[in-house]
Structures are given as structure tokens and as C-alpha cells.
Amino acid sequence: MTREINAELLLGRRVLAPDGRSAGRIEEIVAEPQGSVLAVREYHLGSYALMERLAATPFGRAMLDFFHGSGIGQGYRVPWDKLDLTDPEKPRLLCALADLETLKRA
């Protein structure tokens, strides 16, 4: 059973964890070549990933580190198999928030 979804419509969608908490919004989709196809490896959530998408300058990262320090904005790395896209408008996390890797500053 092959379904099709549009990646650009996933961007900005809020992802809910199993306990109902918000894990952040999908800000980036990372893909890598696997054999002859380009396959999605993971999704990046949260405000940190948004800055990453804006290809931030040292200025942007500094801004974010500043906010990060005050507890605003968290970024999560979600492997492809941990995101349930049965309803593309309501993506669901298939594991607990605590199991996710956070996005670290480069």
C-alpha cells in the first residue's frame, strides 16, 4: 500500500507526543540517498530547526542559544519510523519525548 503525501504541507505542522504534549513543529525534513533513491532519514522539530532552515548566521545561532538558555524553544530529532503520518495534518510521535535526541548547536 503506497500513499503519497506532500512534504511542503508537513512543514510547520505541530507534532503531538503520545501523552498529548506538543513536541514542536516540523521545521525540516532530512533525506539521504539509499541505493538509487532519496529516502527520508529524520524530521527536525522545534524552533531550533527553524533557524537551521534559515541557514542561520552566527547571529541567528547566538540569538537561539540566548533563548535556549532561558528555556524557550527546544529542538528534537525524530527518526523517520517514529513519526506517524496516517493523518498528515496531525502527525503523531510514536515514542516518548524523553526518548528523542535533541538538536544540539553545531
Partner 1 sequence: MNLARDIIDKQVVDKNQAKMGKVDGVVLALHGGKPPVVSYIEIGGITLARRVGRRTERFIRLLKKRWGSPRAQQPYRVAWRQVRDIGVDIEVALDVRETPVNDWQNWLRDKVIRRIPGS
Partner 2 sequence: MDKLLEVSLGIVTSVGGYLEIGSIATSAQAGAAFGFQLLWALVLGTLCIIVLVEMSGRFAAVSHHTISDAMRERFGFNFFLLPLTVTVLLNLMVLSAEIGGVALAGEFATGIGHQWWAVPVGIVVWLLLWKGTFGLIEKGVALLGLVTLVFVVAAVKLGPDWKDLLRSAVPSLPQHDGARYWFLAASILGATISPYLFLFYSSGAIEDHWNESYLWANRAIAGIGMTFGGVISASTLVIAALVMPPSGIRDVNDYHQLPLLLTKVFGFWGLVLFIASLAIACLGAALEIALQQAYLVAQGFGWNWGKDLMPEAAPAFSLVYTLSVIIAVVPMVLGVDPLNLTVFSMALTAASLPLTILPFIFLMNDKRFVKQHTNGRLGNIAIMAIIALGFVLAIATIPLEIFSGG
> Pick from partner 1, partner 2, none: which does 56 bind, CB < 5 to 8 A by kind?
partner 2
Count interface residues toward partner 1 (CB under 8 A). Answer: 29
8 A C-beta contact, residue 91 and residue 13: yes
d(CA 3, CA 5): 7
- Of 76, 69, 64, the C-alpha closest to 100 is 76
Question: Residue for cell digits 527553524?
Answer: 50
Among 1, 37, 55, 106, binds partner 2 (CB under 8 A): 55
8 A C-beta contact, residue 84 and residue 92: yes
Residues 49-88 touching partner 1, rule: CB under 8 A, are: 52-53, 55, 80-81, 85
Q: Is residue 96 close enough to count as binding partner 1 by CB under 8 A?
A: no
d(CA 16, CA 1): 25
Among 56, 85, 94, 95, binds partner 2 (CB under 8 A): 56
Q: Which residues bind partner 1 (CB under 8 A)?
A: 1-9, 11, 27-32, 34, 36-41, 52-53, 55, 80-81, 85
